[in-house]
Amino acid sequence: RKEVEQDPGPFNVPEGATVAFNCTYSNSASQSFFWYRQDCRKEPKLLMSVYSSGNEDGRFTAQLNRASQYISLLIRDSKLSDSATYLCVVIASSSNTGKLIFGQGTTLQVKP
């Protein structure tokens, strides 16, 4: 079983739609959680950290459920520019190196 699992998609949605991505992680000791965005043939860029209380950044909302070891990302009012691959990332608390463990990513395509 992979340490971080995501539905690879692709998710094809119209502009203005709301779309949700889910991610599960296997290591209950995981401590830090992130969503990264990766555009085609580009490097990953930090989209947002994910906190237990949930957090929002504009149209993006991230949630963490530690009991279920589940992380989500909600994108409201999708824009064409949101088309990208979204990577779920964790760091284990047992790691003193800060090593990021990546999911394989979920591809989003927003259509006009």
Partner 1 sequence: GAGVSQSPSNKVTEKGKDVELRCDPISGHTALYWYRQSLGQGLEFLIYFQGNSAPDKSGLPSDRFSAERTGGSVSTLTIQRTQQEDSAVYLCASSLLLTYSRGYTFGSGTRLTVV
Nearest to partner 1 of 43, 112 (CB atom): 43
Query: Phi and psi dihedrals of 97, rounded to 5?
Result: -110, -10
Write out the binding residues for partner 1, residues 21-50 only, by CB under 8 A: 31-32, 34, 36, 42-46, 49
Q: Under the criterion CB under 8 A, does residue 59 sit at the interface with partner 1?
A: no
Nearest to partner 1 of 40, 67 (CB atom): 40
Q: Under the criterion CB under 8 A, does residue 103 sit at the interface with partner 1?
A: yes
Nearest to partner 1 of 17, 69 (CB atom): 69
Tell me the DSSP string of 36-102.
Answer: EEE-TTS--EEEEEE-TT-EEETTEEEEEETTTTEEEEEE-S--GGG-EEEEEEEEETT-SS---EE
Number of residues that bind partner 1 (CB under 8 A): 22
